[in-house]
A and B are shown apart, each in its own frame.
Chain A
């Protein structure tokens, strides 16, 4: 663990808090054993984990909410209208909408498989929020620094379509089933190119740890320069993975009513929508960390701010693509994934191996 990390910072706060709580037990009541239990490493560690998880969740949550705001505002300008209006620059519109979904009636249709129907959004949101703590925003702001963090992130990233398939199947509705099936097909088609393009990054960096990857980029160049093909492949595949508009077949509004989330309403629907943007947060975070140098930047502002700025720029690119392009068909999406992106990713991997063998990295 980093000595300056978020965990250490929160640990100090938790220890102080526990000492405050333990003080009357030690000095007034004289129950030394109870006071000692409060400041024991296990209790403080538990509290620290809880607090740090909460902080990371709220930061990720706020960034995701801001992504929604950014999308609504940019799409508004792009369609010659104003976008959200509530509050300063329309920043509070999403909170108002969240409140609205929260107070709506919770309807479970009669014919659904109730256990799976209730489990699917929980799984989806859990999968999305798990990525928040695996993606570091800066050298100090992270929750878990795993040696093979990249692998874990991609494992979690690929799990969400299973929850989608589950939701589609349990809703007992032809549109939801079709949406879920399309999500699965899309996942299989795009999982391979995305992993191949990541493999090139791993080859260059020589590590599966985000901190090592960013350190290598700080030492040499951002990986977007040698691996521009991989960047494009990763960008397209990431849009397909988070099911944004050129590739939003699982929830094609024109053909399948609302896709796999047709039967969900109220706060579940709100959380599902939020989880989509949390996945967008994860995708743009991965692009920033793997290709755009992570928190690398001039040091007059905090590195975390650099990461976030780059994430907002990448998400702006997502919005631009969403505003400009039309939805592809099922056949086109699969043929694009297997026949175009896959060879490109292989070429990219070859370039990475050549660069590594040539000794430039």
Chain B
């Protein structure tokens, strides 16, 4: 076995002794003159910046119940529940299980009406798991601009031109929106009923041999939020999303 020989290194006292001592002394003086870096948490708090991702919040008036937050949620902690509102009657609103929520903020990002917010609340401890499930009323939070998440899909070329998710010609926001396959549609007008944004209008295309009107949906791209509720509820799979080119 070859004898292991450690390489001979001369220890230079300036480098290994004096410089560390000087650095430490400087640091000690700096932290003694100023305050140390520690934030004494229950008494002192950090300033929370805009867009801080605490628990999700909900603006009840803005929400249209489009299920998009439920679909995007990676931990499936959002569930749409029926609530009774004084002005709208029975509607569906999101309920969040904070025991599973990972504070990713996707729900606020996809929300077409900025009704889901990211709130600066981070002290969420409860005594039971049941208490961690926030129903829509408990989820409500004050609506202010710093809590919205506005992220648009854009290609690098668009970014170069300063156009973030906006159509170059029309100036409208680019998003997928549905179209109907005429041969498959049976004219049941279910899409009109489920559309949370009232973007679907049924129009009469003509009359069949029995003399009854043939109904077809018409999608209003101004109102459509791309939530795919019509897709999910279509009994004949006649609707598909037209993708952005």
Q: Judge whether A78 and B21 touch: CB under 8 Å.
A: no
Question: Are A77 and B28 CB-contacts (below 8 A) given A82-B38, A331-B6?
Answer: yes
Name which residue of chain A comes closest to B37, CB basis: A80
Q: Judge whether A324 and B32 touch: CB under 8 Å.
A: no
Q: Which of B6, B11, B20 contacts A324 (CB 8 A)?
A: B20
Q: Judge whether A81 and B37 touch: CB under 8 Å.
A: yes
CA distance A9 to B38 in the complex (A): 48
Q: Judge whether A324 and B37 touch: CB under 8 Å.
A: no
Chain B CB within 8 A of A98 CB: no
Per-residue CB proximity of B1-41 to A under 8 Å, as 1/0?
A: 00000100001000011001101110110011000111010
Q: Which residues of A contact B24 (CB under 8 A)?
A: 78, 320, 323-324
Q: Judge whether B17 and A80 touch: CB under 8 Å.
A: no
Chain B CB within 8 A of A13 CB: no
Shortest Cβ gap from B231 to chain A (Å): 55
Question: Are A324 and B36 CB-contacts (below 8 A) given A77-B31, A78-B31, A331-B6?
Answer: no
Name which residue of chain A comes closest to B29, CB basis: A77
Name which residue of chain B comes closest to A317, CB basis: B21
CA distance A125 to B13 in the complex (A): 36
Chain B CB within 8 A of A325 CB: yes
Name which residue of chain A comes closest to B6, CB basis: A331
Name which residue of chain B comes closest to A329, CB basis: B6
Question: Are A78 and B28 CB-contacts (below 8 A) given A324-B23, A325-B17, A325-B20?
Answer: yes
Q: Which residues of B contact A78 (CB under 8 A)?
A: 24, 27-28, 31
Name which residue of chain A comes closest to B35, CB basis: A82
Shortest Cβ gap from B10 to chain A (Å): 12
Shortest Cβ gap from A40 to chain B (Å): 57
Q: Judge whether B38 and A81 touch: CB under 8 Å.
A: yes
Name which residue of chain A comes closest to B18, CB basis: A324
CA distance A74 to B38 in the complex (A): 15
Please classify the interface of chain A as helix (H, G, I), strand (E, B), loop, or mixed, using the class held by over half of its residues. helix
Chain B CB within 8 A of A159 CB: no
Q: Which residues of A contact B21 (CB under 8 A)?
A: 320-321, 324-325
Q: Which residues of A contact B38 (CB under 8 A)?
A: 80-82
Please classify the interface of chain B as helix (H, G, I), strand (E, B), loop, or mixed, using the class held by over half of its residues. helix
Contacting residues of chain A (181-226) with chain B, CB-CB under 8 angstroms: none
Report the interface size for chain A: residues with CB under 8 A from the other chain.
16
Shortest Cβ gap from B122 to chain A (Å): 22
Chain B CB within 8 A of A109 CB: no
Q: Which residues of A contact B23 (CB under 8 A)?
A: 324
Q: Which residues of A contact B27 (CB under 8 A)?
A: 78, 80
Q: Judge whether A81 and B36 touch: CB under 8 Å.
A: yes
* Residue among A74, A77, A85, A326 with most chain B CB within 10 A: A77
Q: Judge whether B36 and A74 touch: CB under 8 Å.
A: no
Shortest Cβ gap from B42 to chain A (Å): 12
Q: Which of A80, A320, A326 contacts B31 (CB 8 A)?
A: A80
Q: Which residues of A contact B32 (CB under 8 A)?
A: 77
Shortest Cβ gap from B37 to chain A (Å): 4
Shortest Cβ gap from B41 to chain A (Å): 12
CA distance A1 to B32 in the complex (A): 45
Q: Which residues of B contact A331 (CB under 8 A)?
A: 6
CA distance A6 to B54 in the complex (A): 64
Question: Are A76 and B6 CB-contacts (below 8 A) given A324-B20, A324-B23, A325-B17?
Answer: no
* Residue among A81, A324, A332 with most chain B CB within 10 A: A324
Question: Are A76 and B36 CB-contacts (below 8 A) given A320-B24, A324-B24?
Answer: yes
Q: Which residues of A contact B16 (CB under 8 A)?
A: 325-326
Shortest Cβ gap from B27 to chain A (Å): 6
Shortest Cβ gap from A82 to chain B (Å): 5
Q: Which residues of B contact A325 (CB under 8 A)?
A: 16-17, 20-21
Name which residue of chain B comes closest to A336, CB basis: B11
Shortest Cβ gap from B244 to chain A (Å): 50
Shortest Cβ gap from A266 to chain B (Å): 30
Q: Which residues of B contact A321 (CB under 8 A)?
A: 21
Q: Which residues of B contact A76 (CB under 8 A)?
A: 36
Q: Judge whether B25 and A320 touch: CB under 8 Å.
A: yes
Q: Which residues of B contact A320 (CB under 8 A)?
A: 21, 24-25, 28
Q: Judge whether A80 and B20 touch: CB under 8 Å.
A: no
Q: Which residues of B contact A326 (CB under 8 A)?
A: 16, 20
Shortest Cβ gap from B26 to chain A (Å): 10
Q: Judge whether A74 and B28 touch: CB under 8 Å.
A: yes
CA distance A85 to B40 in the complex (A): 10
Contacting residues of chain A (281-330) with chain B, CB-CB under 8 angstroms: 320-321, 323-326
10 more A-B contacts (CB under 8 A) besides A77-B32, A323-B28? A77-B28, A82-B36, A82-B40, A320-B24, A320-B25, A320-B28, A321-B21, A323-B24, A324-B24, A326-B16
Enumerate the 10 nearest inter-chain pairs by beta-carbon distance, A residue then B residue, closest first: A324-B24, A324-B20, A80-B37, A324-B21, A82-B38, A77-B31, A78-B28, A81-B38, A80-B31, A323-B24
5 sample A-B contacts, Cβ–Cβ < 8 Å, listed by A number: A74-B28, A78-B31, A82-B36, A323-B28, A325-B20
- By a beta-carbon cutoff of 8 Å, the part of chain A in contact with chain B is 74, 76-78, 80-82, 85, 320-321, 323-326, 331-332
